[in-house]
Amino acid sequence: MTEKGLWVMKHIAIGILGVAALGFMASAASAGTLDTVKQKGFIQCGVSTGLAGFSAPDDKGEWKGIDADFCRAVAAAVFGDGSKVKFTPLSAKERFTALQSGEIDILSRNTTWTSNRDSALGLDFVGITYYDGQGFMINAKKLPGVNSALQLSGAAVCVQSGTTTELNLADYFKKNKMEYNPVVFEKLEEVNAAYDAGRCDAYTTDQSGLYGIRLTLSSPADHVVLPEIISKEPLGPAVRQGDDQWAHIARWTYFALLNAEEAGITQANVDEMKTSADPNIQRILGTEPDGKYGADLGLSNDWVVNIIKAVGNYGEMFERNVGSGSPLKIARGINALWTKGGLQYGPPIR
Amino acid sequence: MASQEILREEPSRGSFINDPRIRSLFFQTLVVILLFSSIWWIVHNVIENLQRLHIASGFGFLRSRAGFDISDTPIAYTSDSTYFRALVVGLLNTIIVAVAGIVLATIVGFTIGIGRLSRNWLIRKICTVYVEIFRNIPPLLVIFFWYSGVLAVLPPPRESIHLPFGSFLNQRGFYLPRAVWGDGSWLIGVALLLAIAMAWFVAHRARQRQKATGQQFPVFWTSVALIVGLPVLAFLLGGMPLTFDFPKQSTFNLTGGFWIKPEFLSLLLALSFYTAAFIAEIVRAGIRGVSKGQTEAAAALGLRSGPILRLVVIPQAMRIVIPPLTSQYLNLTKNSSLAIAIGYPDLTATAGTVLNQTGQAVEGVFIMMIAYLVLSLVTSFVMNIVNARMALVER
């Protein structure tokens, strides 16, 4: 081939490459999550594969729990209808990829808020729907005399992989100069089954989770949760980073739940509250003349009314799913409102 | 119709477009360009999307502290080790279970395969039933069968089954006494190496002598005597420098001794029993593939049935057996990633945890793919060498 021929070939090649590249280039800029969600008509919500009190299907196949209800609250805020949610059960390992890839719109799956997850994983946590801490559960019948986590040296400990729990466990035993055999599974059901079968001496996860899991064991009464809490586990929903509007909607849905509880607005009295003369309640429920707090978020002005009608306020959600109205019977503790000595504090809607 | 065909022009050979060489060059260039531009596009797209989604990328995370523990660590590893070391631990666990599985599957597979050709009705039928059962169940179910069906129903650690020689079996695994070699035990190793070298030399000389004189020499029994006898002699001379560390009951588990965990055991048994069913069929096909005339010809030369099998049938059967056997070895290695279902920390499980703790899915999956690719290529390479040595040599 002549030199000129070579030159031509080279440029043709570059040209083809360029065209191919242009043709393949998918448009990276996508529409906001709110528009996408409105277009498809429902919210795709990532939940756990079954953790009582947080997200677990009941005998009718309906998802129950705080985390599931939070997604319903967001759906109510967006569509005025809490049932416009589709649930995707995810293992601990699958959850972040599912959110990153756009498979789900919101991750509401008892997930611990950490700096690394907030900054390096492309997620934005919107709040702390449940303040938790990691604990241990043992079979008191098989291990009489063990009443502290500090007596667990040499034990086999069941834990779910890819969780902060797994890391806290390693830190706790290292700090206290104790040995242990980790027995690690990917799926919650596998961990539960292995613990129930006696493969491990202790089970570790968030304390709320331990109470929920205890109910599913073959003889719940034999198992006790040890008193030690070895970590801070602020659990909350997360959305994809970089979509501020969607993050605001999720965050303010959570704050609205708290504000409603603080103002005494419940599922039962929300309609009569609409006629209230209290300016604070008027602002929350969107009945204030000229108020447009809902519209500013890209929602309707009665968004909080819809949320409360769908799931009740935060307190109702808590009692129904994990508190006195549930088999778990967990006390509000630090999850009480700030006015009652807890940590739950909703910035004002105004 | 016919007139139309006549009207069609003959392709002119002189034309640039119809030159087969230029044509093939053109299409090959096109394919290469398309291939590389799509790879380039994928890489570019991934990088751009990761940046857009604010997801960290790159392999820098490999040097950070892992922070989690692993249950089986063939090399020193703690939660203070790096992610890279965690991945190496996972890879080693995969290699261990794959190699052990290949050895066990080959032994079981050959036994069953030869058993299917047995003249004994019962043996033949038992082997057939084995093959039909294991070949037709998905490997994941076989793993669950061993893990949940067999090992999980064993008694808890405080009621362990006592086995001979101070070993124990319970639902936490299989505990064996661990040999602790004392001073002077290096002599035994030296004796073993020496014995192997001598056995090889004896075999070599015996072959030469048989070629020259036709006289045979009991090579097998001499080798056994050498390989067993010399180390035993060294052991006695060295003042028996061996003690055993027996497993003992402690608060939670048995401690000390050599501990085989149920996750490893069930994975190993499941993989090898599953693959053995396929190997059995390959072996049977290989032996049946050697024509009967070969056996008859060997018998006509006066060989007895043992040497016929060893010298005539098996060498020819191996040529048929080895290529599909390689595929089975590769399958076994890749199936070992099912370990994740029962919590054996193989490469997939460990890399999955690393992926989750760092959130770097693309890099994690890439490392996994490369590691399995390399493992498979190495297996194929080794088996190709074996195959080349077994292949028909024209004389």
Most confident of A82-96, A305-319, B134-148, B349-363: A305-319
Determine the Cα–Cα distance for residues B277 and B299; give it in Å rounded to an integer.
31
Determine the Cα–Cα distance for residues A183 and B10; give it in Å rounded to an integer.
75
Inspect the interface and report whether the beta carbons of B252 and A26 lie closer than 8 Å.
Answer: no
Asked if the model's pLDDT at residue B189 lies above 90, the reply is: no
Residue B172 in domain: no
Inspect the interface and report whether the beta carbons of A120 and B343 lie closer than 8 Å.
Answer: no
Q: Which residues of chain B have a CB within 8 Å of the CB of A198?
A: 156, 171
Residue ranges of the domains in chain A?
A: 33-131+235-340, 134-231
- Long-range CB contact pairs, B209-216, < 8 A, 24+: none
Asked if the model's pLDDT at residue B276 lies above 80, the reply is: yes
Q: What is the pLDDT of residue A21?
A: 42
Whether B268 and B121 share a structural domain: yes
pTM: 0.81
Which chain B residue has its CA at the smallest distance from A98's CA?
Answer: B361
Which chain B residue has its CA at the smallest distance from A151's CA?
Answer: B251
The CATH architecture that domain A134-231 belongs to is 3-Layer(aba) Sandwich (3.40)
Confidence of residue A29 (pLDDT cuts 50, 70, 90): very low
Whether B297 and B360 share a structural domain: yes
Inspect the interface and report whether the beta carbons of A156 and B172 lie closer than 8 Å.
Answer: yes
Confidence of residue A18 (pLDDT cuts 50, 70, 90): very low
Q: What percent of chain A has pLDDT over 90?
A: 77
Which chain A residue has its CA at the smallest distance from B37's CA?
Answer: A17
B94 or B49: which leads in pLDDT: B94
Whether B226 and B267 share a structural domain: no
CATH for A33-131+235-340 is 3.40.190.10
Inspect the interface and report whether the beta carbons of B53 and A183 lie closer than 8 Å.
Answer: no
Q: What is the DSSP string of B173-196?
A: EEEEPEEEE-TTTHHHHHHHHHHH
Determine the Cα–Cα distance for residues B49 and A28; give it in Å rounded to an integer.
7
Asked if the model's pLDDT at residue A28 lies above 60, the reply is: no
Residue B24 in domain: no
Question: What's the first-to-final CA gap in chain B, in angstroms?
Answer: 58
Inspect the interface and report whether the beta carbons of B358 and A143 lie closer than 8 Å.
Answer: no
Determine the Cα–Cα distance for residues B72 and B261; give it in Å rounded to an integer.
8
B46, B59, B69, B147: which to substitute to probe chain A, counting the most A Cβ within 10 Å?
A: B69
Decide the pairing of beta strands B167-170 and B161-163.
antiparallel
> Token pair for residue A344?
């739950």
CB A53 within 8 A of CB A328: yes
Q: What is the pLDDT of residue B173?
A: 86
Determine the Cα–Cα distance for residues A180 and B72; give it in Å rounded to an integer.
12
Separation in Å, CA of A41 to nearest CA in chain B? 24
In A236-275, the residues whose Cβ lies within 8 Å of chain B are: 240-242
Residue B42 in domain: yes
> Token pair for residue B145?
């069968």
Residue B313 in domain: yes
Confidence of residue B7 (pLDDT cuts 50, 70, 90): low
Domain that holds residue B237: 183-244
Q: How many domains does chain B have?
A: 3
Q: Touching check for B340 and chain A: CB below 8 Å?
A: yes
Q: Touching check for B67 and chain A: CB below 8 Å?
A: yes
Alpha-carbon torsion (B105, B108, B114, B116), positive or negative: negative
Inspect the interface and report whether the beta carbons of B353 and A171 lie closer than 8 Å.
Answer: no
In A96-125, the residues whose Cβ lies within 8 Å of chain B are: 96-97, 100, 116-117, 120-122
Q: What is the pLDDT of residue B252?
A: 82
Q: What is the pLDDT of residue B50?
A: 84
A27, A93, A148: which to substitute to probe chain B, counting the most B Cβ within 10 Å?
A: A93
> Token pair for residue A339?
């006015």
Q: Dump pLDDT digits (tens) for B144-179.
A: 999 988 888 888 888 888 888 888 888 888 888 888
Which chain B residue has its CA at the smallest distance from A202's CA?
Answer: B252
Buried b (16+ CB within 10 A) or exposed e, A42-52: bbbbbbbbbbb
Whether B274 and B234 share a structural domain: no
Query: Which phi-psi region, left, alpha or beta, contains residue A232 (left: φ > 0; alpha: ψ -120 to 50)?
Result: beta
Whether B227 and B268 share a structural domain: no
Among A142, A153, A185, the residue with its CB nearest the CB of B156 is A142
Of B41, B56, B71, the one marking the end of a domain is B56
Average pLDDT, chain B: 88
Q: What is the DSSP string of A257-299?
A: HHHHHHHT--TTTHHHHTT---HHHHHHHT-STT--HHHHTTS
Please state the φ and ψ torsions of residue B43, each to the nearest 5 degrees: -60, -50
Cα dihedral: B224, B225, B228, B234 (round 10): -150
Separation in Å, CA of B167 to nearest CA in chain A? 19
Residue B294 in domain: yes
Whether B143 and B271 share a structural domain: yes
Inspect the interface and report whether the beta carbons of A241 and B53 lie closer than 8 Å.
Answer: yes
Q: Which residues of chain B have a CB within 8 Å of the CB of A118?
A: none
Whether B237 and B267 share a structural domain: no
Inspect the interface and report whether the beta carbons of B359 and A116 lie closer than 8 Å.
Answer: yes
- The position carrying tokens 């498809």 is A40
CB A106 within 8 A of CB A33: no
Whether B36 and B144 share a structural domain: no
Average pLDDT, chain A: 89
- The position carrying tokens 């799926």 is A187
Domain A33-131+235-340 identical in fold to domain A134-231: yes
Q: What is the DSSP string of B46-95?
A: HHHHHHHTTB--SSGGGGSB-----S--SS---TTSBHHHHHHHHHHHHH
Separation in Å, CA of A94 to nearest CA in chain B? 8
Q: Touching check for B64 and chain A: CB below 8 Å?
A: no
Whether B239 and B270 share a structural domain: no
Whether B188 and B144 share a structural domain: no
Q: What is the ipTM of this complex?
A: 0.78
Q: Touching check for B33 and chain A: CB below 8 Å?
A: yes
Q: Which residues of chain A have a CB within 8 Å of the CB of B338?
A: none
Inspect the interface and report whether the beta carbons of B69 and A25 lie closer than 8 Å.
Answer: no
3-state secondary structure of B270: helix
Whether B138 and B271 share a structural domain: yes
Inspect the interface and report whether the beta carbons of A156 and B56 lie closer than 8 Å.
Answer: no
Closest by CA to A267, choosing from A324, A319, A198, is A319
CB A161 within 8 A of CB A249: no
Q: What is the pLDDT of residue B110?
A: 93
Confidence of residue B109 (pLDDT cuts 50, 70, 90): very high
Dump strand ranges (E) for chain B: 161-163, 167-170, 173-176, 178-181, 242-245, 248-249, 254-255, 258-260
Whether B268 and B368 share a structural domain: yes
